[in-house]
């Protein structure tokens, strides 16, 4: 496999926690500009895979490359984020005591050093960007309210908004529609498809309607490695996948 | 510009600063210009006591910057206070000159007593006030920077961090007890004569020290308010509430903490420097871990995560302590412990939080109170 042209390249990655192999010889390649859906039963290692890519967990073995040449295993979370990988957590994680607007302000792409933050003056460009994102995530009316007061679905959207503000090259989105109504789920699929026009995206989701809505290539993980890969129809008719989901 | 922002956006801070500046003028006048027979006369011992409280308030404010706003529960802030105090104490020792018991113009009494022949290198420069003033901030700042550099980089958090801060102040306590450290050992530094050429005993000097402490505290409030209100301040609270989230956004949480910790240590050092000439002594007892824990209690009682809270807490608890140690000395520790437990259980935001709730109830008597109160978010306690 050639690495150039890939935004993310995992080869033979393994990680064990106290002897338990959460990721087992996992290989996965994402092309630049591609959106991929990842499915798999609970405990398949989907979140752990994201932990490895974002520098939270170091793999025991294997290669993890970003953008064709950057070895991610040599960098920590903040460095990886600055290189252009953004992440939405499975459990929505926003700054609860901060207003919706401040959550976005802290996520805005740009300087990440202490002194510029100390002397930061809000610029017209930043305000415009925040306004735009607030429009996209439909939280304009609540911009000055603390994020703690948002509903579960709204927090998911705010976190997606924070990703947008960060403007990464690659977005890792862990279970974005958990706790959403059908209408919200549909909206989220639309939003992610929009984002995928200009970004590379990995979406982990259990909701098959949502995955179908995305209409992209699907990878099914099981016990820490790839079980099946292809179109949703192909993957969902794969006997091994059916067995994993039903035969337990 | 700052002043306009102050008066429009945060009345409470403006009132606090104005009160401190007014006290800096009024208290000295009532002490010096009003005759002793008058009911308005403020006796000198009250001036000194109040000056001491203001230093404690600045120390508590410094702690709150890291604890209330960043979730770093330092149980060693007394160390930074004491180091600032020692730096000032060294200057005051040098001001004694040949007026010590041994009349040695070159060495402080305790060094003569130890048979030392010359001044250790680390005492050089303390003849100059400007140098001492610099060290008051630089020494605690440097210690905090080095300590924080290692602790935050290795991601020591929560209880573990609290324990090593406590160990830090304990280690300094033991070190400063030793005579060969060259800081007066057990007895510390005392018998001061002059500060900037004025007798430390004179009531004019005492009034001036009180005024200077009040101004220093006012500046501390202003700086804290500016820091906390900046984008960096928002980041500080974000690190408190969801540290790993800030990392995944590209922020270096360790640097965010390091800046606040260092700034806070410098503020604590300044507080110690104003404290020493007013109480007339600095000794290793100031490094006692129990002192650092008391600062945490003042802050909790006043209301952490607020700017006014630690000031109110430090003054209220110490006023209570002064009264108790006069009236019922054996009960003070029980009262202090009870106060801490009561405030953690019933007043998560301390006296200031109670005041806020009372204000809200008054404002929304017509409207059901709960809705408003629930909408207001309170800072989450540190883990
Ligand atoms: N830090 C850790 N320490 C120990 N075990 C872990 C750790 N992180 C993950 N695991 C284990 O690794 C396995 C894979 O977990 P992971 O969270 O990646 O699954 P997942 O595919 O995201 O599942 P879900 O759909 O439930 O979110 C689980 O059995 C989990 O308990
Ligand atoms: Mg998961």
Looking at the complex, does the CB of residue A93 fall below 8 Å from at least one CB of chain B?
Answer: yes
Residue B378 within a domain = no
Our CA-based measurement puts residue A89 at a distance from the nearest CA of chain B, in whole angstroms, of 9
- Whether the CB of A29 sits within 6 Å of ligand 1: no
Question: What is the structure's pLDDT at B6?
Answer: 67
Question: How many domains would you assign to chain B?
Answer: 1
Q: Judged by CB atoms within 8 Å, which residues 132-151 of A form the interface with B?
A: 146, 148-149
Give the residue from A67, A79, A86, A83 showing the smallest Cα distance to A165.
A86
C-alpha gyration radius of chain B: 22
Our CA-based measurement puts residue B66 at a distance from the nearest CA of chain A, in whole angstroms, of 15
Residue B289, token pair as written in the block: 């871990």
Q: What is the A40 CA–ligand 1 centroid distance (Å)?
A: 12
Partners of residue B282 on adjacent β-strands: B189
Question: What is the structure's pLDDT at B234?
Answer: 97
Give the closest of B230, B256, B377 to A120, CB-based: B230
A90 CA closest ligand 1 atom index: 27
**pTM of the predicted model as reported, rounded to 2 decimal places:** 0.93
A43 CA closest ligand 1 atom index: 19
B227/A106 CB distance under 8 A: no
Residue A138 within a domain = yes
- Whether the CB of A225 sits within 6 Å of ligand 1: no
- SS3 assignment, position B74: coil
Query: A152-166 and A124-136 helices cross at what angle (nearest 10)?
Result: 140
C-alpha B70/C-alpha B55 separation (Å) is 22
Structural domain including A228 reads 6-246
Looking at the complex, does the CB of residue A98 fall below 8 Å from at least one CB of chain B?
Answer: yes
Is B8 buried (19+), middle (13-18) or exposed (0-12) by CB count in 10 A?
Answer: exposed
Reported as a pLDDT band with limits 50, 70 and 90, residue A247 is low
Tally of CB atoms within 10 A around A150: 20
Mention every residue, 6+ apart, whose C-beta is less than 8 A from residue B134: none
Residue B141 within a domain = yes
Residue A209, token pair as written in the block: 């309607």
Our CA-based measurement puts residue A148 at a distance from the nearest CA of chain B, in whole angstroms, of 8
Helix (H) or strand (E) holding A88: strand A85-88
Residue B196 within a domain = yes
Residue B376 within a domain = no
Reported as a pLDDT band with limits 50, 70 and 90, residue A248 is low
Please name the residue of chain A whose CA is at the shortest distance from the CA of residue B259: A114
B259/A114 CB distance under 8 A: yes
Residue A1 within a domain = no
Question: What is the structure's pLDDT at B55?
Answer: 98
C-alpha A164/C-alpha A171 separation (Å) is 9
Give A110-166 pLDDT, tens digit per residue.
Answer: 989 999 999 999 999 999 999 999 999 999 999 999 999 999 999 999 999 999 999
Percent with pLDDT over 70 in chain A? 98
Pairing relation of β-strands B281-282 and B189-190? antiparallel
Residue A158 within a domain = yes
Q: Which residues of B touch A102 (CB under 8 A)?
A: 234
Give the residue from B137, B148, B155, B368 showing the smallest Cα distance to B258.
B148
A29 CA to centre of own chain: 15
Residue B239, token pair as written in the block: 């690190």
Give the closest of B230, B249, B251 to A118, CB-based: B230
Helix (H) or strand (E) holding B346: helix B332-346
Q: How far is CA A64 from CA A25, A55, A59, A230, B224, in A?
A: 12, 10, 9, 22, 43
Structural domain including B291 reads 2-370
B238/A95 CB distance under 8 A: yes
Question: What is the structure's pLDDT at A5?
Answer: 84
Question: What is the structure's pLDDT at A64?
Answer: 96
Give the closest of B241, B255, B380 to A114, CB-based: B255
Mean per-residue pLDDT pooled into runs of 10, chain B (383 residues): 68 94 96 91 94 98 98 97 98 94 92 93 96 98 98 95 97 96 94 94 95 98 97 97 96 98 98 97 97 96 95 96 88 88 87 89 68 44 41
b/e for B117-129, b at 16 or more Cβ within 10 A? eebeeebeebeeb
Looking at the complex, does the CB of residue B252 fall below 8 Å from at least one CB of chain A?
Answer: yes
Please name the residue of chain A whose CA is at the shortest distance from the CA of residue B243: A95
Ligand nearest to the CA of A43: 1
Question: How many domains would you assign to chain A?
Answer: 1
C-alpha B260/C-alpha B265 separation (Å) is 8
Q: Is the Cβ–Cβ distance between A69 and A3 less than 8 Å?
A: yes
- Whether the CB of A90 sits within 6 Å of ligand 1: yes
- Whether the CB of A88 sits within 6 Å of ligand 1: no
CATH number at residue A84: 3.40.50.300
Residue A53 within a domain = yes
Give the closest of B242, B247, B252 to A95, CB-based: B242
Query: B350-363 and B308-327 helices cross at what angle (nearest 10)?
Result: 120
Reported as a pLDDT band with limits 50, 70 and 90, residue A244 is confident
Looking at the complex, does the CB of residue A106 fall below 8 Å from at least one CB of chain B?
Answer: yes
Q: Is the Cβ–Cβ distance between A192 and A203 less than 8 Å?
A: yes
> End-to-end alpha-carbon separation of chain B, Å?
38
Residue B174 within a domain = yes
């Amino acid at each position: 496999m050639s690495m150039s042209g890939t935004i993310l390249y995992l080869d033979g990655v393994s990680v064990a926690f106290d002897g338990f192999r959460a990721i087992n010889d996992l290989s996965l390649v994402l092309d630049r500009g591609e959106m991929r859906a990842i499915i798999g039963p609970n405990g398949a290692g989907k979140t752990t895979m994201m932990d490895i890519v974002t520098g939270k967990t170091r793999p025991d073995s294997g290669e993890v490359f970003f953008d064709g040449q950057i070895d991610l295993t040599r960098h920590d979370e903040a460095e990886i984020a600055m290189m252009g990988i953004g992440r939405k957590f499975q459990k929505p994680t926003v700054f609860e005591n901060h207003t919706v607007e401040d959550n976005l302000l802290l996520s805005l792409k740009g300087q990440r050093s202490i002194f510029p933050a100390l002397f930061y003056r809000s610029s017209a460009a930043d305000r415009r960007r925040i306004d735009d994102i607030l429009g996209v995530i439909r939280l304009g009316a609540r911009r000055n309210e603390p994020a703690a007061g948002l509903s579960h679905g709204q927090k998911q959207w705010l976190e997606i908004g924070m990703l947008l503000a960060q403007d990464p090259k690659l977005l890792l989105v862990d279970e974005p529609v958990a706790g959403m109504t059908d209408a919200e789920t549909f909206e989220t699929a639309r939003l992610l498809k929009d984002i995928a026009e200009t970004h590379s995206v990995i979406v982990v989701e259990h909701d098959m309607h949502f995955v179908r809505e995305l209409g992209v290539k699907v990878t099914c993980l099981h016990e820490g490695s790839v079980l099946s890969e292809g179109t949703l129809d192909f993957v969902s008719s794969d006997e091994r996948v059916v067995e994993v989901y039903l035969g337990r | 510009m700052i002043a306009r922002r102050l008066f429009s956006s945060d009345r409470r801070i403006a009132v606090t600063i104005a009160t401190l500046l007014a006290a800096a003028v009024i208290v000295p006048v009532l002490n010096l210009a009003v005759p002793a027979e008058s009911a308005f006369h403020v006796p000198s011992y009250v001036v000194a006591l109040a000056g001491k409280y203001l230093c404690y308030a600045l120390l508590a404010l410094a702690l709150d910057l890291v604890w209330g706003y960043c979730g770093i529960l330092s149980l060693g802030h007394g160390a930074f206070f004491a180091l600032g105090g020692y730096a000032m104490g060294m200057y005051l020792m040098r001001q004694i000159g040949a007026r010590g018991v041994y009349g040695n113009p070159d060495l402080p009494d305790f060094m003569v007593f130890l048979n030392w022949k010359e001044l250790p290198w680390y005492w050089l420069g303390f003849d100059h006030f400007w140098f001492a003033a610099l060290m008051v901030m630089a020494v605690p700042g440097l210690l905090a920077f080095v300590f924080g550099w290692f602790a935050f980089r290795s991601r020591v958090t929560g209880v573990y961090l609290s324990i090593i801060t406590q160990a830090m102040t304990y280690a300094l306590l033991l070190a400063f007890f030793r005579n060969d450290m060259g800081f007066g050992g057990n007895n510390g530094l005392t018998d001061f004569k002059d500060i900037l050429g004025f007798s430390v005993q004179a009531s004019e000097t005492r009034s001036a020290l009180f005024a200077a402490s009040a101004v220093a505290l006012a500046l501390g409030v202003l700086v804290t308010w500016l820091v906390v209100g900046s984008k960096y301040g928002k980041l500080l609270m974000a690190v408190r509430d969801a540290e790993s989230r800030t990392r995944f956004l590209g922020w270096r949480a360790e640097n965010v903490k390091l800046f606040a910790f260092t700034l806070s240590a410098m503020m604590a050092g300044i507080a110690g420097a104003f404290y020493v000439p007013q109480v007339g002594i600095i000794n290793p007892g100031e490094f006692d871990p129990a002192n650092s824990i008391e600062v945490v209690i003042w802050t909790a009682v006043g209301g952490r995560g607020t700017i006014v809270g630690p000031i109110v807490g430090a003054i209220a608890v110490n006023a209570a302590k002064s009264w108790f140690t006069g009236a019922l000395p054996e009960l003070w520790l029980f009262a202090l412990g009870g106060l801490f437990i009561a405030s953690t259980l019933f007043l998560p935001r301390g006296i200031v939080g109670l005041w806020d709730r009372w204000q809200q109830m008054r404002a929304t008597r017509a409207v059901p109170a709960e809705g408003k109160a629930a909408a207001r978010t309170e800072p989450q306690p540190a883990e």
